[in-house]
Chains A and B, each alone.
Chain A
């Protein structure tokens, strides 16, 4: 029993020394504003979670490089305290609570995915700390009368609106639509909104079907699409599901006239993985690298895209741009409020009217950004914005798999 005692004593001594000398001195010249963020480093959402972390970090770095945040004449540096929520909503809400009560962060940045944002936003409301999030677009986040949540992704129910608008301009205009969606909260909102819009436009919704999140097998759904002869397929899911759907559509030789997906086409991984099978698939996004906005933090979208690519070695997508906007809104709102008081900053966020590289940011009374999405299409291995305006025109109908 003597050795373990010795080990414990040594450890205790080390801890005592750490306590005595303290961690390396961080209290440099400027005081800091701490933003707390519980987001996925591991688990199912970790891939997209990283996109947000990269953006948050880059925006904060840019702020600190260019003079920090000016609060009533006093300069503050900005800092983010992260925790890994392991892609688990329960874990995430606990960590948000820890960020507020133990780490005493000033404000909160959101996690990724609607399902995780809902519990997190409820914690933010309970402690009356504002949370700006760039990764949850489900109407369920914003329909609770929560005054402390602000989101920079456009309303889920409107996601496919631009795509449906585009259908009317195509010749011959397609008439029948199949809507497939994962049982994730965001995708359910997208699908229900889309169904309503499509019916309102007089389109025939021949298939409206939900599948389990993370599903790998789409052969049954594809067989139904073929037998119902759906001309347009709108898929609201996640990257892996989009990949599986496309590959299996080719395996079973199912070939509708138009395929559009919420997530997948705008990601470089998706295009590289599928190669020429990804051609002509449509995507929707609240933002694309081909836009051009002047804004806070970066002089314009193109300069941001270049700087981002140089730093992280991949093309930013709308997740990244949304994340940049979140931090930019904080800087702007804190400076406008001239205070770090959560209530004052909340009111300043609600009144935001800010130009960013993501576009103009204004919030609806429910906290969600006002804005619409654009239609993208993969052509020649690259993604182009094709509607309502765009660098290329939409290619329609879809060239079947075997005819390429």
Chain B
């Protein structure tokens, strides 16, 4: 049974990490706390839902569409909305993101109603067993693989490509980056697009595993936020460590103390991390 709880926690952590990775990127590079992150996950989930329901496109295939569409959306929002206030204090961007969240959620509510929907795929609940006591849900395992893949992809983009160098340059020294000819507005928009694209991927997997509805974003934002704080900013490994830490503590915590306490445990860890390591488990010290 302990092994099963461990696996439950690890797989849940993988999903949390995937949710948080985009938020971490945007936060780390642009210092924007994207409160609307969960709403973008919701949009990704609905892209998958509609492609599957209307056109019969396999949810895993729709990953390309949800990532692509949300990348474009994220690029547009950053370029033509957030860029106007990016030099203002952090509170202004926070309020703007909050506004975007309310707007998206209510637009979705009007367009799709508050109905709870479900992508009904045959393999949604597929699993395989190891011995009598351990059952591994396949989709969650795939999600786990995907988060590692996406993290590696981000790592590659940030460290090995021209775009990545521009992103890191703007985050390290804005004026310096401008001097060497980096188009800052464009770079920021691409970063935001990448972050939101990752939210789209998380949305697709969420839609395969859980029922979806327009108001689901709030709690997802909160979880992503906790994961980013726990893991620490500035490293692609941060959200993974944070996600796994949260997944495991929730899983063991709710086994030992009862399910109502799973949120309490998550937030206790958050407070502890803030006290002991304010920069997160992997965050640097300054």
Could you tell me which A residues sit within 8 Å of B by CB distance? Answer: 42-44, 46-47, 50, 183, 209-212, 214-221, 223-224, 226-227, 239-240, 243-244, 247-248, 250-253, 269, 272-275, 277, 401
Chain A residues, CB < 8 A from B254: 220-221
Complexed CA–CA distance, A210 and B213 (Å): 23
17 contacts between A and B (CB under 8 A): A44-B215, A47-B114, A212-B262, A215-B262, A216-B210, A240-B211, A243-B116, A243-B210, A243-B211, A244-B210, A247-B118, A247-B209, A247-B211, A248-B137, A253-B135, A273-B211, A275-B120
Given A44-B215, A223-B8, decide whether A252 and B135 contact each other with a Cβ distance below 8 A: yes
Cβ–Cβ contact B219 & A247, under 8 A: no
Binary contact readout B223-265 vs A (1 if CB under 8 angstroms, 0 otherwise): 0000000000000000000000000001100110011101100
Q: Is residue B149 contacting chain A, with contact meaning CB distance below 8 A?
A: no
Known: A46-B109, A217-B250, A244-B211. 9 other contacts (CB 8 A): A42-B114, A46-B114, A210-B259, A216-B210, A218-B259, A220-B255, A243-B118, A243-B210, A273-B117
Residue of B nearest to A402 (CB): B127
Chain B residues, CB < 8 A from A218: 259
Cβ–Cβ contact B260 & A210, under 8 A: yes
Among B5, B127, B262, contact of A217 (Cβ-Cβ < 8 Å): B262
Chain A residues, CB < 8 A from B115: 47, 269
Closest Cβ–Cβ distance, residue A249 to chain B (whole Å): 8
Q: Is residue B125 contacting chain A, with contact meaning CB distance below 8 A?
A: yes
Cβ–Cβ contact A251 & B137, under 8 A: yes
Binary contact readout B132-162 vs A (1 if CB under 8 angstroms, 0 otherwise): 0001010110000000000000000000000
Rank and list the top 6 A-B pairs by shortest CB-CB distance, nearest first.
Answer: A273-B118, A250-B125, A251-B137, A211-B259, A219-B8, A46-B114
Cβ–Cβ contact A212 & B263, under 8 A: yes
Complexed CA–CA distance, A194 and B210 (Å): 28
Complexed CA–CA distance, A43 and B105 (Å): 10
Chain B residues, CB < 8 A from A277: 125
Given A269-B115, A273-B118, decide whether A183 and B140 contact each other with a Cβ distance below 8 A: no
Residue of B nearest to A45 (CB): B114
Cβ–Cβ contact A252 & B210, under 8 A: no
Cβ–Cβ contact B260 & A211, under 8 A: yes
Chain B count of residues within 8 A CB distance of the other chain: 38
Q: Is residue B4 contacting chain A, with contact meaning CB distance below 8 A?
A: yes
Residue of B nearest to A241 (CB): B211
Closest Cβ–Cβ distance, residue A236 to chain B (whole Å): 14
Given A212-B259, A212-B260, A240-B116, decide whether A223 and B5 contact each other with a Cβ distance below 8 A: yes
Chain A residues, CB < 8 A from B89: none
Chain B residues, CB < 8 A from A42: 106, 109, 114
Q: Is residue B129 contacting chain A, with contact meaning CB distance below 8 A?
A: yes
Name, among A243, A247, A248, A251, the residue most crowded by chain B CB atoms within 10 Å (CB to CB).
A251
Chain A residues, CB < 8 A from B125: 247-248, 250-251, 277, 401
Q: Is residue B1 contacting chain A, with contact meaning CB distance below 8 A?
A: yes
Name, among B106, B124, B263, the residue most crowded by chain A CB atoms within 10 Å (CB to CB).
B124
Cβ–Cβ contact A220 & B211, under 8 A: no
Complexed CA–CA distance, A216 and B209 (Å): 10
Given A223-B8, A247-B125, decide whether A252 and B137 contact each other with a Cβ distance below 8 A: yes
Binary contact readout B194-222 vs A (1 if CB under 8 angstroms, 0 otherwise): 00000000000000011101010001000
Chain A residues, CB < 8 A from B124: 247
Cβ–Cβ contact A247 & B210, under 8 A: yes
Cβ–Cβ contact B258 & A269, under 8 A: no
Q: Is residue B12 contacting chain A, with contact meaning CB distance below 8 A?
A: yes
Cβ–Cβ contact B116 & A47, under 8 A: yes
Chain A residues, CB < 8 A from B258: 209-210
Chain B residues, CB < 8 A from A275: 120
Name, among A50, A219, A223, the residue most crowded by chain B CB atoms within 10 Å (CB to CB).
A219
Chain B residues, CB < 8 A from A44: 114, 215
Cβ–Cβ contact A227 & B109, under 8 A: no
Residue of A nearest to B259 (CB): A211
Residue of B nearest to A217 (CB): B12
Cβ–Cβ contact B8 & A253, under 8 A: no
Cβ–Cβ contact A273 & B120, under 8 A: yes
Chain B residues, CB < 8 A from A272: 120
Closest Cβ–Cβ distance, residue A300 to chain B (whole Å): 30
Residue of B nearest to A48 (CB): B114
Complexed CA–CA distance, A44 and B124 (Å): 25
Complexed CA–CA distance, A347 and B8 (Å): 56
